[in-house]
Amino acid sequence: MSDGILVDLRVIWEALVRFFGLEALVLVIGLVVILAWVQVNALFLVWLERKVAGHIQLRIGPKEVGPFGVLQTIVDGIKLLGKELITPQPVSWLLFILSPIMVFTPVLVAFVVLPFGPHLIIRDINVGLMLIFAFGGINVLSILMGGWASNNKYALLGAIRSVAQNVAYEIPLLLSAMSVVVMSGTLSMQGIVEAQEGVWFIFYQPVAGLLYLIGATAETNRAPFDIPEAESELVAGFHTEYSGMRFGLFFLAEYTNMFIVAAVATTLFFGGWRGPFLPGPWWFLIKVYILIFGVMWVRWTFPRLRFDQLMNFAWKYMIPIALLNLLVTALVMKLVR
Amino acid sequence: MQPVIAQYIRPEVVAYAVFFFVLLLTLGGALIAVIPKSIIHNVFGLATSLVGVAGLFIYLGSEFLAMMEILIYVGAICIAIVFAIMLSQPMHLQIPPRLRPKVFFSFVVSLVVFISFTVMVVRTPWEQAVRTSNDWGVKRLGTLLLTRYELLFELISLVLLMSIIGAVITAATASSEKAPGSRDGEEDGV
């Protein structure tokens, strides 16, 4: 019985492959899975964040809707969908509407090159790592777009803070990633995982790993680097004027960005999908969610930094250390080879 | 093996469609970068145009250059936008009208640049990218930059060095003029 269904499925699959071609089919299915995954991942992460925050602050967090409150975020999501999309009168409406849509582009593009398993990758481009970092810049651009178009001083201040911070922390982020690239000799995500056979790069590159994690926390605008949306100073930062699902898109993008930076960290420093007993994708997800848990732990433990402290830390400490690290790595690799 | 759909939608047609879309992005973005009066819209138009240029690089077979185009130009445009925000009027104020001689003068200058570039492009005997090389990946670009085009590479680093020195001098003199003996930022409030 079940065998018959399997045979039917295979026949349908082969017919589809013959009609559309394997590459196009993988791309379409991959994009659909990504879109679904983004939602499920955000639902889970928001719930996890509330639970983690609750337990760190000696509360319980959500517990009413569903077992352990797992359905709470779904209910919140439905509430957001039902809300009115308010467009304030004096905004620059085209940029105002474009911004939440554009903030999603880099998120979707990054998923194309994330290696979930030995064969589970939509497309292994030979400049995969650059692709993720390059489109990360569009993220900042759209935050700035939304902040300016809102015609609101809090939104604009939040957006400008976000740019200053992202520009400062992107440099150590890129430099630490470059040390890994120098070691593995490739920019392809799958190639970097393959280069970590035996020993993870975090053991060769502890400094770069630490710099990457700090920079990634700053890139995702999370505490202690959350001055772009500091509630006590700026209401809600760049998305102050957004309501309903437009705000929801910013929110989704933020949590998906967390997943992406953790996934890139896993690929660069923690051996990607490598691990014993379990199949690759399981290891990949376990490592990613452990890293995300660490980021959440940091958020609910440390207070927000002041702006000048933040800038000084990036420009005076992180960048020189990252440069030195890259230099030493290159030198050692030259001597070893 | 060609998939069946290739008989109905030919791959060349798709490639052409993508090419013209990229061209539209480049030229449309360039127009937005020039025509609207709001400087913010101009800068976003410039960013769109540069994304189009990145698309052209992909079309020429160099994904690395395309990524660098987006990373450096589109990413750095953000900073340009911050400056543009400082230069722009608040939204409720009227944007001042353009001065006729200024528009005319910029038109003449860009026309001269356009003509000289066009003459150069038309006169150069171009070879097809495929014929010169199939591989424009990171390794080949790096090798070329450090062997055949090493002088250019050195010149670029010289320009960057000069601009860094310039920035340091500007920052040093500006801060000493404003507040003699000012403390370092990190020691404030400790």
Q: Enumerate the residues of chain A whose CB falls inside 8 A of the CB of residue B67.
A: 127, 130-131, 133-134
Is 50 exceeded by the pLDDT of residue B190? no
- Which residue would you say has higher pLDDT here, B53 or B97? B53
Is 60 exceeded by the pLDDT of residue B188? no
Q: Are A113 and A124 in contact (CB under 8 A)?
A: yes
Cα–Cα distance measured from residue B7 to residue A288, given in angstroms and rounded to the nearest whole number? 43
C-beta neighbour count of A322 within 10 angstroms = 25
Is 60 exceeded by the pLDDT of residue A52? yes
Say yes or no for a CB contact (<8 Å) between A141 and B70.
no
Q: Which of A19, A92, A144 sits opposite B81 (nearest CB)?
A: A144
Say yes or no for a CB contact (<8 Å) between A148 and B40.
yes
Identify the pLDDT of residue A135. Answer: 85
* Residue B74 near chain A (CB below 8 Å): yes
* Residue B186 near chain A (CB below 8 Å): yes
How much is the average pLDDT of A63-83?
82
Q: Given pLDDT bands bounded at 50, 70 and 90, which one contains residue B162?
A: very high
Helix (H, G, I), strand (E, B) or coil at B35: coil
Q: Is B97 left (phi over 0), alpha (psi -120 to 50) or beta?
A: beta
Assigned token pair, B27? 């030229």
Is 60 exceeded by the pLDDT of residue A32? yes
Identify the pLDDT of residue B176. Answer: 63
Q: Are B78 and A106 in contact (CB under 8 A)?
A: no
Q: Please provide the average confidence, as pLDDT, over all residues in chain A.
A: 83
Q: Enumerate the residues of chain B whose CB falls inside 8 A of the CB of residue A311.
A: 185
Q: Are A165 and A225 in contact (CB under 8 A)?
A: yes
* Measured CA angle at B84 (ends B43, A229), to 5 deg: 100
Say yes or no for a CB contact (<8 Å) between B3 and A130.
no
Cα–Cα distance measured from residue B47 to residue B41, given in angstroms and rounded to the nearest whole number? 10
Assigned token pair, A256? 């998906």
pLDDT in tens, A2-28: 567 777 888 888 888 877 777 778 888
Q: Are A317 and A171 in contact (CB under 8 A)?
A: no
Q: Enumerate the residues of chain A whose CB falls inside 8 A of the CB of residue B167.
A: none
pLDDT in tens, A233-285: 777 777 777 877 888 888 888 888 888 989 999 888 888 787 788 787 888 88
How much is the average pLDDT of A158-179?
86
Alpha-carbon distances, residue A104 vs A35, A100, A281, B147, B156 (angstroms): 11, 7, 24, 41, 35
Give the nearest chain A residue to B50 (CA atoms).
A138
Angle between helices A280-301 and A22-56 (to 10 degrees): 40
* Whole-number percent of chain A with pLDDT over 90: 3
Identify the pLDDT of residue B109. Answer: 93
Give the nearest chain B residue to A17 (CA atoms).
B3
Is 50 exceeded by the pLDDT of residue B185? no
Q: What is the pTM of this model?
A: 0.82
ipTM for the predicted complex: 0.77
Q: Are A213 and A298 in contact (CB under 8 A)?
A: no
Identify the pLDDT of residue B159. Answer: 92
Q: Where are the domains of chain A?
A: 1-82, 88-336
